[in-house]
């Protein structure tokens, strides 16, 4: 985003995060039992970028492109610290790594998250219902996202966002297959924080988040905060750290901005008979919806319950390593929209299934009370 086009929404959204960072850091300290020690250890092993020529060149480039004071940008990047743990966490798994949907699912669909999700739903049922009505995004999906991302605010990250983003801009692992694209992406996020901080006179180092620089209950990146965060509780400010209502509305708004189509399902089960060339053809587009149910049937995949469904679908492969046979589902455009949060079919299905499990537990709990 061009700094000269920075709008009022940005100043009320990400700027709030910067201006009230001390208040936002408090819940992070209270809820992050695992992340805080990791972040503290990372800080202890870190080295400031002040002595790096490439960091100072980056500062000059950002200042020029974003029309920011060169000395100020240089001072910020000089204070930022390289966090080797962040680079390690972004390094792709080795060739021996085997994808396993069953194992991945067990990380997110568990009693702790389900209980926390029921409590979250009970406490925020009105906001969830309003978001579903206003945006057309089911409460299940919103609850699934916030549960997978932060266990409903329990783990929002305790890394200094400036350190994380500087590290991912200057020291992104080159072994990553999309290293340059990801480096460019994180540079944009770093620039977003700097532009906001400069225009509001706030401290960019007060922000806390994940090792990737994501913040708040829904783990919004700085650019997503700017584009999609909303004041859903109507208090005149946007706070994705302390306002569950703002987080709920913002997650729903994010999905609308990424192609969510109200009323469409997320996925269908399939009767899988495809092999060889037919299977390869169906899997080639990956998670991008490409084939109709009729076209899938022509290649020996029957999409169950989709007799009248004419919109594009993607054949989603769920490998289970040595744990069991590979599973398959047909993902819709709304399944694809969930992957805009995290480009992973495993992630999207975890969101869907956690939301469903929490909803069922919530309804059971309500029935027991009546």
Q: Which residues are known catalytic residues?
A: 149
31 in Cβ contact with 42 (< 8 Å): no
CA distance 96 to 332: 31
Long-range contacts of 186-190 (CB under 8 A, 24+ apart): 186/212, 186/213, 187/58, 188/223, 189/165, 189/213, 189/221, 189/222, 189/223, 190/62, 190/162, 190/165, 190/166
CA distance 357 to 361: 6
351 in Cβ contact with 144 (< 8 Å): yes
Phi, psi for residue 47 in degrees, rounded to 5: -135, 135
Phi, psi for residue 83 in degrees, rounded to 5: -115, 100
Q: Position of tokens 């599973």? A: 327
Provide the CA 44 distance to its chain's centre, in angstroms: 27
Phi, psi for residue 217 in degrees, rounded to 5: -60, -35
Instruction: Please give the structure tokens belonging to residue 341.
Output: 């949060």
């Amino acid at each position: 985003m061009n700094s000269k086009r920075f709008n009022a929404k940005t100043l009320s959204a990400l700027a709030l995060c910067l201006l009230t960072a001390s208040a936002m850091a408090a819940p992070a300290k209270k809820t992050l039992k695992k992340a805080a020690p990791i972040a503290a250890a990372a800080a202890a092993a870190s080295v400031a970028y002040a002595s790096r020529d490439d960091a100072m060149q980056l500062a000059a480039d950002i200042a020029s492109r974003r029309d920011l004071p060169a000395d100020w940008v240089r001072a910020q990047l000089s204070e930022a610290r390289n966090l080797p743990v962040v680079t390690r966490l972004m390094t792709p798994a080795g060739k021996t790594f085997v994808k396993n949907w069953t194992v991945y699912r067990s990380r997110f669909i568990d009693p702790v998250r389900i209980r926390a999700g029921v409590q979250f739903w009970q406490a925020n049922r009105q906001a969830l219902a309003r978001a579903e009505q206003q945006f057309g995004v089911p409460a299940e999906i919103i609850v699934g996202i916030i549960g997978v991302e932060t266990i409903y605010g329990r783990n929002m990250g305790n890394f200094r966002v400036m350190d994380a983003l500087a590290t991912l801009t200057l020291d992104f692992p080159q072994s990553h297959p999309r290293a340059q694209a990801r480096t460019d992406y994180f540079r944009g996020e770093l620039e977003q924080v700097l532009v906001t901080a400069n225009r509001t006179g706030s401290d960019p180092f007060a922000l806390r988040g994940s090792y990737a620089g994501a913040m708040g209950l829904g783990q919004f990146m700085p650019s997503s905060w700017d584009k999609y965060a909303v004041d859903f509780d109507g208090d005149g400010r946007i706070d994705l750290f302390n306002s569950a209502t703002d987080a709920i509305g913002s997650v729903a708004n994010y999905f609308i901005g990424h192609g969510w189509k109200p009323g469409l399902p997320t996925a269908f089960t399939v009767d899988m008979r495809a092999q060889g060339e037919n299977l390869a053809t169906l899997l080639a587009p990956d998670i991008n919806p490409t084939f109709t149910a009729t076209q899938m049937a022509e290649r020996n995949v029957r999409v169950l319950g989709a007799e009248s469904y004419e919109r594009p679908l993607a054949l989603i492969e769920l490998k289970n390593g040595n744990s069991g046979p590979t599973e398959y589902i047909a993902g819709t455009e709304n399944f694809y929209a969930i992957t805009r949060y995290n480009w992973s079919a495993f992630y999207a299905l975890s969101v869907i299934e956690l939301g469903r499990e929490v909803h069922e537990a919530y309804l059971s709990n309500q029935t027991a009370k009546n």
